[in-house]
Structure 1
Amino acid sequence: MAKRTTKKTINLDFAFFTHLHDFYRANKGRIRTYYRELSKKFLDFNNPDHNPKAFLRQPQFEALEIYIFLKEYLDNAPVHQMFKDWSESTGRFEGRTVSNQTGQVQLDVLKQASKDQYEAVFNRMRDHADGRLYANYIFALTMGTGKTILMATCIFYEFILANKFPKDPKYCHNALVFAPDKTVLQSLREIQTFGLDKVVPPDYVNFLTAHLQFHFLDEACTALTTLDQSRFNIIISNTQKIILKRQNKEKTPIEKLMGSGKPTYQADSVYAQAADLYGFDQPNDDDSLTTNQRFEKLRRLGQLGIYIDEAHHAFGKQLANDMGIKSTATSLRKTVDELASSLERVGTHVVACYNYTGTPYVGEEVLPEVVYAFGLKEAIDKAFLKKVRINGYSNTRTGEFVEVAIANFLQHNSNQRHEGMLPKLAFFAATIEELQGELKPAVEAALTKHNIPSSKILINVGDAKITSNDDIREFNRLDTPESEKQFILLVNKGREGWNCRSLFGVALFRKPKSKIFVLQATMRCLRAIGTAQETGHVYLSEENQQILDAELQQNFRISLQEMQEGGSDRIPVKTYIKDPPPKIKLKRVRRQFDLKEKPLTNGINLELNKALKPENTDKYRLIHTEQEGLSIKAAARSKTREEDLTHIRQKRTFTKITLVAEISRYLNKSPLTIEGILNCTQEGVERILEAVNEFNELLYDWVIPHLFNELYEISEDTSSEEYEVELVKLSKDGYYKLSAKESLVVSEAIAGQDASKSFHLSHYCFDSEPEKTLFWNLLKDGRVKKLYFTGMLTHGQSEFYIQYIDPDSHAIRSYYPDFLFQKDDDSWVIVEVKGDNKVEDPVVQAKQKFAKQMAEDNQMTYRMIKGSEAGAGQFSQLLM
């Protein structure tokens, strides 16, 4: 394939995956109608808007939404086919519209100068995918946002659906998880140890627990022990344990005769080489490939889903060089393609290949098969990662650099523990000799000045002569409260897959061989810990600081300054609980409905003559009106011509048998009983048939309800009990850690004499300026006796919530309103501040309905106020 002669810069804002996500957001309601109920249930269980105890973070849940969207709505279509349908507004994208970020304006982004940019990449991608037997998707989530948990959640979802619909080819019956190296392989153990009840609805936990079979191939000699044609296997392996390899030497005549030596795999799949963009490094067509026991066992498993962690390793030499990874002479991608070909020949298939990586970029371009991306700056801004502070040092020697780095680290992290764990600082050396000869002595000397024993140091260099098994065990338990190690000295370790949340600092004083290593090492200390957004400290030489800035630009399209500014508008807040916490008394109303059968009577009158009066049937008629001009004056209306076209409506013609069957279905009576009742009505069966065949709607709106009232009697029994709820639960520490924009944090101290009317917590963290404005207006109003902001504790820290039924899934959800205040007449008012464009949302309306019912039962008032009104000080309706 010819190399490209020109390159076009593809900006993240104009990448296809952004428009795919826009389409999903704009059409979510319609898209969900295509989903199976089990898929909806799985999504809703993990949706933080529906389930306050949902475990997944926003990027994880959004990626899960796209994962299920690709499967249920787009039927695992390849990305190039999705793009074609999207660009032409055909197939499932027919009549598509895309919303801007506020959801207010619809536009066709394809017309905004992005078409040419896309075609350059996607035409090439379509060519590359022609010979591929499976869809290939890339999920680009920045480090620390939980790719491993996301991967596990997707696999659990696949298996639940595969069990329910075993013949559906779009669900995975088995999962193969690839890691590029041993460090990442160890991090993937979390799939096996992760509490699946956190992301799996309770009804399916026992099934998965009983049927999941884990196969962890961490040693070269480990055999794969899956049963042929078995299901629900999760095979977690280093790529080198399964990958096809070149036959390095000719078999000897004896080996050929006796069949000894490594078995040979004859590749016969049609594979379009994508060396242009991905740089796949494939064995030549004439080369033979050696297979192994694990590859052969995989060929005997059906409907295999392949999940590749740190997927940039799988894309070959060009991308490996860009990412600072040594490329091998074999390709994981070749192995996946040959595996797909083998499964195809025996009547099954690879369902899809799901790649998880940290960035959607390769140099100047966006990987075209990215379907979801969540960037570094966005993760910091939304407090999914620590904030970062870069400390640069020029013209420093090793000892000086180490000394000032440790002193600065201790200044910010001395005598602290986070989730019971000591904060840690990692030093990276370029070589083992450099670590032993320079770095270790310098660290020991610096710690001596602070009276810190050398036992706080841990060394991990990958050499058994220096790093013992005890050191490896200590390294693996760094993220536990029991670990007393605090200064970690590394050589080429922890670049990927090191999930140490208690790492609060990294230091690099020498230029490494790989520039990307500076970025990868820097990001190790950004994993979030605790409920507030902490700060990670990075210590770099001046040269490494410049390298980091360049790598951020290339891989994340942000500058070093933007990275440090990310999340700066959010601050950690410790909000202390007032003792005793306020309580309010509520009334729990229980309504029990009893259904009793009435004795059957002859001669039931269905009052069909009344049902057939024009005022009752007009709503069923199809009326055509014709008017001259646009005037609405009476004279013009008099010229309007009307025509009744009801006779052309599509109607079902009932017979006596089908009428009896339909009514029996609704009234839970045998057809013989229903037939007898209809025969004994005053109208008779023939008259009923005539009426319902003229207007089918009468059967459901009139006949069946009348028969129900004649056959059954409903009685309602209402009881109530009074109980107390705490507006905030006591925590063992006496406070909760939150984070919020500094401008939206209000403390009791600045409220002055009005503070006594409010503040069941020392600080209120508002979500928006309208909420904050409404708070101050209510606090200063003399008609308000008590005022509590209740919208900041939404994850089980408060007992004050309202249960409602979700209109889509029909599941019970919990809703935490924004304010609760008491007027001077001692009555209580519940207030919700809602964005103007959200007021008519079905879910918001459902919350309002149940909140009003709860308020009425408790002699309270529920009010919803638009954000624009709250922000403008228009709140008088709340006090009426």
Structure 2
Amino acid sequence: MAKKKVTMDFTFFKHLWMFYQKNRKTIISKYKGPTRKFLQFNGPENPNRFLRTPQFEAFEMYVFLKEGLKNLKMSEIFNEWYDRTDMFNLRERGTINVQTGQMNMLDEMTRENYEQIFETINEFGSASDYANYIFALTMGTGKTILMATCIFYEFVLAHKLPKDPLYCHNALVFAPDKTVLSSLLEIQTFDKTKVVPAEYVNFLNSNIKYFFLEDTETDLNTVDGSDFNIVITNNQKIILKKEHKEKTAGERLFKYISSSAGVLAEAADVLPNEEPEDDKDLIANNRFYKLNRLPQLGIYVDEAHHVFGSQLARDLGLNRTKTSLKLTIDEIAKNLNRSGSRVVACYNYTGTPYVKKTILPEVVYGYGLKDAIDNEYLKRVRLKTYSDIRSEEFVRDVIEDFWRKYGENRHENMLPKIAFFAPTIKDLEENLKPSLENVLNGLGISSDKILVNHQGSDSDSIREFSRLDTPESEKQFILLVNKGKEGWNCRSLFAVALFRRPYSTIFVLQATMRCLRSIDKVQQTASIYLSSENEEILKAELDKNFRMSINELKNAKGKEKQLFKISVTKPPIEIKITRVKMTFDIEEIKEPEKITFDFDKVSTDRYRILARTIEDVKIGKALDKQTESTEDITSLREKRKFSRTTLVAEIARYLNISCLRVERILERAEEEMEKILECVNEYNEILYDHVIPKIFRSIHQITERKEEEQKTVLLVKEPESGYYEISGDPKKTVALSDYKTLSCKSFHLDTYCFDSKPEMELFIDLLKSSDIEKVYFTGMLTHGQTEFYISYIDPDSKMVRHYYPDFLVKKGDDGWSILEVKADNMIDDAIVQAKKEAAEQFAVENEMTYSIVSESEVRDHSFGTEKTKLKLLAEEEEQ
């Protein structure tokens, strides 16, 4: 039987992501404190989070590569993954796809099976002295904001841990051309408070220096050896350029004298020993040398110009030849190494993990075009194709169709726009523009709504083009020649039209994608108008760059949500509650004569790592476990080996007291130093969970004060505009008008938009129950619109957060109950349990009860003491 080979179709980045997801809690528990705060601030548990899901997942992978995998090259990561060494000792030997129920046998294949993968990834890994990663997020998902978040995170950690080689102290951001370079200004203007925890924002605002190199006349004035510089440029402004003209005798003499004096001696040391193939000298840009004097440099490549096609492969070395950008980065890395510094890593942000249907081996995270549409990060697509039609007829039908569908209906107070792409300026002026003017005149639309933009446009046209995505712009018909196909972030663009075949096939894909950027709180639909010839080109380019068919593009339908205007019913509902404030006064005292750590009373079960093996697994409708065994592999955990000196230093650092004092306390301990070292070296966690807290309590007196405050809170605040705008699924929505006879029991808002079907089903059950006096859905408003919330401490970041439970229910004389609906497999989640603990305490203080209702209980209509009654009521309703 022939051996099954794993080819480059093997998506290693997906396996890497699956491993991280499965072991997320264990991995994050080892991160630095500021890192955990960054993740919690931007994670799904923060109701005010700014990052979208793909941005946050990519940021999680970015952090995992750094703190979990220590900036290893992809070749090293893949080898450790395959061998299950270091971090990957947690990787299971067999995994089951939860969607298909099929066993993933790739985990059990031999090194010989993986031969091509090893060869390709190892070849990439040996090509540079630094790690090179690719984050493939499709257009419109926010790569620039992701890049900015990563840089801000790097600088915060570099400030906290200045000697740690993992973190970037400076950032060089490359853009491929001037259009994309302008879009990167957002890194400088972006509001950091949206992605950076509050305690770090002032440091960043005070210390980051921006250098935006838009033209060749701008000097790079960074201070040699300084930190926290962000240099934004395109590669042409930094690159080692080739000199094309013959030097004069005077220029050759000056170069010789300067080199002898040492001015260009550094250049000679940096440049390759071999002559370039075309025998042309390389001259070094002054900016190049300034960059070489910045320590701990992180390089970020925003290749929006190369999002599609083979140029990205060339820039990343896939064709085994060095391009100007790759050469520049390699030379910067070599020169930094000579000066005792280094390139920390190179991070590339692209729109697709594929080049000519081949997966780039250094991709670490991917989020595709169809996923972005399905999850409402882009507009849906409506494609209209024309065959055997003249250009004048094409323009007429397109404009009439666009005007019927979009007209002057504003979105976020901006007029909808359509872009026509012409192959040449001549074709635009002689054919496209006259045809468009005739059509508009026939429809009674002013030709003032036309904007022409190309390389020969005047300053007024360029200014109008830059303000298209503003409420002030009155332009709706945009005529372009080789403009706006990349780096153009116009969210109010609702349509594009291409009739003539362009010079480049990739242009069709680039141009059609421009109108997909999202706008409004509800997903909109964009229209793409193509000739049949251009449709065939689009099919081929979608397959080449996304492995996606044109039917998949058209059928990506999103979540079919709509925007609801939610009004507050009068009078607003008020609830009397008691809020408890705990105050702790800490006073330092003299340490006791003796301290006892009681190691024998410490449970170490939670520190153990157990591996479960299932053999002879049968896959069918049910999982048949033939043989199951559990192995304790705690010995594989990475441990820090403390000595007497390092243990004292670590405790002193945590408690911010002198090492001499720590040493004195340990010497007076009931346990010998050897016993203490034995315990903390066996389980490092004991030091932080037990020893340090015990010492802290022994040298501090803690006085606890409890204050109770009686308050009357609003279940919902009155909106300034008269209503709240909420995006919701119409199939998971219940309106007051549907239950007018029961309105006295509920509806503090005129419409409830539920997150899940079980929430809606439980609400209807409770509303119809004769035992229930009041039921309000309180989990809908989570952005400051309500005063009814419960404070809890996040178990990972240890930060205080607000929890908005799903329901507030009153059952006759039994008082109020707080209910939360959760999937069965989420009930034991650490965050859910932390919310539960805080809610139960809140309930006791307010003479309420708190319960978590599982989805299975909702489906069976079996929640509560009157389970049978509720079920009968539900059955009667169905009949």
Shift of 1:104: 12
**Partner of 2:808 in structure 1?**
820
**Partner of 1:16 in structure 2?**
12
The letter of the residue matching 1:534 is: Q
**Partner of 1:219 in structure 2?**
215
Separation in 2, partners of 1:720, 1:483: 52
Shift of 1:869: 1.9
Cα 1:77/1:287, change in 2 over 3 Å: farther
**Partner of 1:867 in structure 2?**
855
> Is this contact kept in 2: 1:77–1:135, CA < 8 A?
yes
Matched, 1:440 2:428: no
Separation in 2, partners of 1:542, 1:322: 33
The letter of the residue matching 1:836 is: D
RMSD: 4.6
The letter of the residue matching 1:57 is: R
> Is this contact kept in 2: 1:87–1:110, CA < 8 A?
no
Shift of 1:241: 1.0
Shift of 1:425: 1.4
> Is this contact kept in 1: 2:29–2:796, CA < 8 A?
no
User: Of residues 72, 77, 92 in structure 1, which corresponds to 2:72?
Assistant: 77
**Partner of 2:773 in structure 1?**
785
**Partner of 2:183 in structure 1?**
187
> Is this contact kept in 2: 1:532–1:737, CA < 8 A?
no
> Is this contact kept in 2: 1:582–1:728, CA < 8 A?
no
**Partner of 1:809 in structure 2?**
797
Matched, 1:354 2:350: no
**Partner of 1:524 in structure 2?**
514
Matched, 1:559 2:549: yes
> Is this contact kept in 1: 2:149–2:195, CA < 8 A?
yes
Separation in 2, partners of 1:866, 1:189: 47
The letter of the residue matching 2:60 is: E
User: Of residues 57, 65, 68 in structure 2, which corresponds to 1:62?
Assistant: 57
**Partner of 1:584 in structure 2?**
575
> Is this contact kept in 1: 2:569–2:749, CA < 8 A?
no
Shift of 1:194: 0.9
Shift of 1:813: 1.4
Shift of 1:737: 3.5
User: Of residues 760, 785, 795 in structure 2, which corresponds to 1:772?
Assistant: 760
Shift of 1:864: 0.2
Matched, 1:40 2:40: no
Matched, 1:156 2:152: yes
Cα 1:595/1:547, change in 2 over 3 Å: closer
Cα 1:620/1:113, change in 2 over 3 Å: closer
Shift of 1:374: 0.8
Separation in 1, partners of 2:56, 2:775: 34
User: Of residues 21, 28, 33 in structure 1, which corresponds to 2:24?
Assistant: 28
The letter of the residue matching 1:735 is: Y
Cα 1:549/1:874, change in 2 over 3 Å: farther
**Partner of 1:725 in structure 2?**
714
> Is this contact kept in 2: 1:586–1:725, CA < 8 A?
no
Alignment map for 1:413-492 (pairs within 5 Å): 413-463=406-456, 467-492=457-482
> Is this contact kept in 2: 1:577–1:728, CA < 8 A?
no
Larger radius of gyration: 1
Shift of 1:302: 1.5
Matched, 1:87 2:82: yes
The letter of the residue matching 1:475 is: F
> In terms of mean alpha carbon deviation, does 794-803 or 851-860 score higher?
794-803
> Is this contact kept in 2: 1:246–1:283, CA < 8 A?
no
Shift of 1:528: 1.3
Matched, 1:255 2:287: no
> Is this contact kept in 2: 1:760–1:788, CA < 8 A?
yes
Shift of 1:514: 1.8
> In terms of mean alpha carbon deviation, does 159-168 or 730-739 score higher?
730-739
Cα 1:689/1:92, change in 2 over 3 Å: closer
> Is this contact kept in 1: 2:581–2:708, CA < 8 A?
yes
The letter of the residue matching 1:779 is: L
Cα 1:234/1:118, change in 2 over 3 Å: farther
Separation in 2, partners of 1:107, 1:764: 41
Shift of 1:336: 0.7
**Partner of 1:241 in structure 2?**
237
User: Of residues 842, 857, 864 in structure 2, which corresponds to 1:854?
Assistant: 842
Shift of 1:549: 2.5
Separation in 2, partners of 1:840, 1:104: 25
> Is this contact kept in 2: 1:148–1:188, CA < 8 A?
yes
Matched, 1:571 2:561: yes
Report the secondary structure of 2:813's partner residue: coil
Shift of 1:157: 1.1
Shift of 1:872: 2.4
> Is this contact kept in 2: 1:729–1:799, CA < 8 A?
no
Shift of 1:38: 1.3
Matched, 1:798 2:791: no
**Partner of 1:636 in structure 2?**
none
In structure 2, stretches of 5+ residues that fail to align are: 606-643, 681-686, 871-879
Matched, 1:550 2:560: no
> In terms of mean alpha carbon deviation, does 188-197 or 163-172 score higher?
163-172
Report the secondary structure of 2:773's partner residue: strand
**Partner of 2:626 in structure 1?**
none
Shift of 1:509: 1.8
Shift of 1:153: 0.9
In structure 1, stretches of 5+ residues that fail to align are: 1-5, 273-281, 622-654, 679-684
Deviations 1:228-286 (A, max 9, x none): 222211111121111122232443444322329997955767899xxxxxxxxx95396
The letter of the residue matching 2:557 is: G
Shift of 1:117: 7.7
Separation in 2, partners of 1:115, 1:564: 41
Cα 1:258/1:590, change in 2 over 3 Å: closer
Separation in 2, partners of 1:408, 1:154: 43
Shift of 1:827: 2.2
Give the TM-score normalised by the residue count of structure 2.
0.81
Shift of 1:397: 2.1
Shift of 1:841: 1.1
Report the secondary structure of 1:830's partner residue: strand
Cα 1:220/1:686, change in 2 over 3 Å: closer
Deviations 1:604-632 (A, max 9, x none): 9x999xx99xxx989999xxxxxxxxxxx
Deviations 1:98-123 (A, max 9, x none): 86665999976533669778542441
**Partner of 2:876 in structure 1?**
none
Report the secondary structure of 2:561's partner residue: strand
Give the TM-score normalised by the residue count of structure 1.
0.81
Separation in 2, partners of 1:212, 1:89: 40
> Is this contact kept in 1: 2:580–2:706, CA < 8 A?
no
The letter of the residue matching 2:489 is: N
User: Of residues 516, 524, 533 in structure 2, which corresponds to 1:534?
Assistant: 524
Report the secondary structure of 1:94's partner residue: helix
Shift of 1:483: 1.5
The letter of the residue matching 1:70 is: L
The letter of the residue matching 2:122 is: R
